[in-house]
Structure 1
Amino acid sequence: MPLHPEIAKALAAMPAPPPGPLNPEAMRAGEESQVPPVADRLPLHSVEDLTAHTAAGNVPLRVYTPDEADAYGLLVYFHGGAFFLGSLETHDHVARSLAKETGLKVVSVGYRRAPEHAFPAGLDDCYAAVRWAAENGEALGWDSTTLALAGDSSGGTFVAAVSGMARDDGFDRITHQVMFYPSLDLDFDVDRYASLRDNAVGYGLETAGLKPFNAFYIDSGADPADPRVSPIKRADLAGLPPALIITGELDPLRDEGELYGRRLQDAGVDATVSRYAGAGHGFVQHFSWIPEYHRAYAETRDFLAR
């Protein structure tokens, strides 16, 4: 299927990137400038910023309560952005939609980013935030049932990595993992996956951009051979939480996400892989206003309710 016409129209209207090396500060400022004012965001019962005091340090969180209830299941959300972009603000709309559609209380994690913070700072923050949420369940109104993880793109990397770390540590409270078009193999050899070639140009994220965009993370000490960096390289996937992996048909990262899903299934994990036609990378963040792609939230809701 060709690229969805609304996505194609948006990509055609995007200005060309400035020449020269990537500038994290300028790119972050550009992202933040696009965030709508609070008054224009999806309303919820409450949205609260707080700081979790964890073994990894103080981690900023934003807690989204969808409606008034006695107790809630929890969903801990890790935003995407190639490990150096994205924030609580740029992905606020994703967290709000997750809370609204699933009925869970969402805890969004403002983890440390490259290049200012070397690996594994961001990953440690994410794992520490999950442990903190479980340990502070009473204050969060947790019903002690669902403790799900969700993340998009590099946030999906963290979901898979944290799930593996938790299993290794014997921390068994994570009930589900949801990954939207995750980056699961940071070895960007174009011969590794057909989608890196088939979807290389013209669909938003381009294969040639993968190395420079992820260089800040890799140069900070993230070794692509390490399963915490490339979760697909984890040898034993048995015992991981049930997984939902949502991919885009025209995303260069499509095949690694779908292969990870098959490997989870082969290891006996309840894993669902769902490919969205006509979609490139980032469609949940940027194009969930299109009904076909807003369905990803409903699919997440149904998966978490199983």
Structure 2
Amino acid sequence: MTPTAADEPHPEAQAVLDALEAMDVPSLADLTPERARETMAAMFDRDSDIAVARVEDRRIDGPAGEIPIRIYDPDPGSDSDRADDESRPTICYFHGGGWVVGSIDADDATCRKLATETGYPVVSVGYRLAPEHPFPAGLEDCYAALEWAADSVDDLGGDRDRIVLAGESAGGTLATATCLLTNRRDGPPVAYQVLFYPATGDATGTDSYEAYGDGYLLSTEESEWFRTHYFEREIDEANVFAAPRLASDRLLSDLPPATIVTAGFDPLRDDGAAYADRLAEAGVSVSDRNYPDMIHGFAGMLEPPVELEVAHEAHADLAADLHEAFE
């Protein structure tokens, strides 16, 4: 995959950047994790107007206590109302936030859009955050949510053989790492993975990391701050469940097909593209979708006051990939 950037960000994306600059929002790298969460929640936690037939909050058992989840069902008809061939794929979604910030509430609009655009139920997972719970705590929660989803597909009107793992940014990392982990543990099978601008390895030194590491929403300074809090030990940064791009071809070859979304003005663009190449070289079917005039996080910018038309297009593209995969 050869990702590209446009000559300049899309006017709608530039408007977002200009608004943030005018607001003088502090860099997360200058805040404590607690203050960073408060800042991000104030900016992004809001009730979405994207209508979904049923939204339900639950708590499920995890490896260290209960895990909050939110279920979005665009068609909550009972399972008995559906014919055998009408069972649907189920999407397990992991939010972004550098493993330190972010929440189910922050990605509410994204999950509503995923559900309505695909027609599939979505299970959003509130995994544990660092530094209170460093790697691999969040990953273990994501795996527990996968197990729950696989055991609950009948209630969701889903299909155990058609589970999709999806995530944005750090959540994309967790999604593909959960695919690796379930293969290692001979756990529930995953049929597809959706990775929005994931962090998959060491991005430093890539062209995009150096060119777009300041002034394009996600800064390289913040990226390093996230990693410092996520990893309790330096050696963990080389773990394939934290940096899946380091996995062998043999491990990668067992992963399910993927859609990998990158943005032209994202410091993680080349990292995501390199992972797409690794998967393809290992024989995995990859749909690589680069949006050259977009910024990190754009796929979640779906409603006023931060709404990008390209975000809606990206979800339509993703839905097309999934429908093609499962039809």
What TM-score, normalized by structure 2, do the two folds share? 0.86
Counterparts of 1:213 and 1:225, CA distance in 2: 16
Alignment map for 1:1-306 (pairs within 5 Å): 1=6, 2-14=8-20, 15-18=23-26, 21-35=30-44, 38=47, 40-55=48-63, 57-69=65-77, 70=82, 71-171=87-187, 173-185=189-201, 187-188=202-203, 190-191=204-205, 193-219=206-232, 223-236=236-249, 237-286=252-301, 289-305=307-323, 306=325
Counterparts of 1:208 and 1:216, CA distance in 2: 13
Instruction: Point out where structure 1 has 5 or more consecutive residues left out of the alignment.
Output: none
Query: Which of the pair is proportionally richer in helix?
Result: 2
Which stretch of the first structure deviates more once superposed, 247-256 or 66-75?
Answer: 66-75
Give the percent of matched residue pairs that are identical in Structure 1 and Structure 2.
37
Asked if 2 retains the 8 angstrom alpha-carbon contact of 1:54 and 1:132, the reply is no
Asked if 2 retains the 8 angstrom alpha-carbon contact of 1:151 and 1:159, the reply is yes
Counterparts of 1:66 and 1:145, CA distance in 2: 20
Asked if 1 retains the 8 angstrom alpha-carbon contact of 2:298 and 2:308, the reply is no
SS in structure 1 opposite 2:122?
A: strand
Root-mean-square deviation (CA, aligned residues, Å) is 2.0
Label 1:121 to 1:30 Cα distance change in 2 as closer, same or farther (>3 A). Answer: same
Counterparts of 1:264 and 1:257, CA distance in 2: 11
Counterparts of 2:180 and 2:254, CA distance in 1: 9
Asked if 2 retains the 8 angstrom alpha-carbon contact of 1:177 and 1:242, the reply is yes
Asked if 2 retains the 8 angstrom alpha-carbon contact of 1:45 and 1:67, the reply is yes
Partner AA of 1:176 in structure 2: Y
Partner AA of 2:91 in structure 1: L
> How far did residue 292 of structure 1 move?
2.0
Asked if 2 retains the 8 angstrom alpha-carbon contact of 1:115 and 1:220, the reply is no
Corresponding residue number in structure 1 for 2:3:
none
Asked if 2 retains the 8 angstrom alpha-carbon contact of 1:119 and 1:222, the reply is no
Larger relative contact order (Cα-Cα within 8 Å, sequence gap ≥ 6): 2
Asked if 2 retains the 8 angstrom alpha-carbon contact of 1:204 and 1:281, the reply is yes
> How far did residue 55 of structure 1 move?
4.3
Label 1:234 to 1:213 Cα distance change in 2 as closer, same or farther (>3 A). Answer: same
When the two structures are aligned, how many residues end up with a matched partner? 302
Q: Could you report, residue by residue, the CA deviation over 1:42-98 in whole angstroms, capped at 9, with x for unpaired residues?
A: 111110011112445421110000123334320000000000111010111111100
Asked if 1 retains the 8 angstrom alpha-carbon contact of 2:71 and 2:121, the reply is yes
Counterparts of 1:102 and 1:131, CA distance in 2: 22
Instruction: Point out where structure 2 has 5 or more consecutive residues left out of the alignment.
Output: 1-5
What TM-score, normalized by structure 1, do the two folds share? 0.92
